[in-house]
Amino acid sequence: MMRKKSLIIGGHRGIGKSIYINLKKRGDEIFCVSRSTIKKKNFITADITNKIDQDKISNFFKKIKIDNLIFAQRYRGDDSEEEYKVILKATTNIIKNIKFKKTGSSIIILGSIASTTVIGDQDDVYHLTRGALETLTKYYAFKLGTNKTRVNCIQPTKIFKPENKSFFSKKNNLDRKLIEKITPLSRMGTSDDIANLVEFLTSEKSSYITGTIIPVDGGLRLVGQEQIAKMFRK
């Protein structure tokens, strides 16, 4: 079997790093785009909102055909205009300019439950752009299907990431306790939960799945407001 080539946008830390580790173990040849300077093979330092850096990425992959493209970039909550650029311009620009293998390829977009549920500690731009990601997923799944390119979106809730381990591990952490209390599976999701799903969606085992929005929330979406209120009255 030929070695897969996978490109991760934002593979330096958090969920992106877990995806990188998983696909590396599978034997993929990994390429990563990150704003941070990482001295590793196939790590490209670039800001995907910057036109010069977009051209840099396009030129790098001119002669390389990709099996898998994974968007795992972090939210830039400090600048609304930058976030619009990431979601509405940079994401579409990369999809249009990357060459995919015609034998079957996969695009994975990391979204959020904020597209369907209001998250109190996130702003309006976060909610708006996460909804846009799901629309882009459906559009490109339809548009690229004839090229045997599948496009799917993963919709996680709050995730336990390696870099915030010390924060969530505190005994009195209210965020963690609340999630554990109201989630049917009684635990927080981890970056490995997302990485495992990405591994599946970039494999032949998911060859008939495209245009889907997949929640990874431990069943949290099934819990109604009345049920939550009852839990806290106990």
Q: Which residues are catalytic?
A: 126
Residues 6+ apart with CB under 8 A from 187: 179, 180, 218
Residues forming beta bridges with residue 155, ordered by sequence position: 215
Residue with tokens 């979106």: 153
| Distance from C-alpha of 10 to C-alpha of 174, rounded to nearest angstrom | 28
Q: What is the DSSP string of 54-81?
A: HHHHHHHTTT--BSEEEE-PPP-TT-HH
Hey, what amino acid is at 166?
S
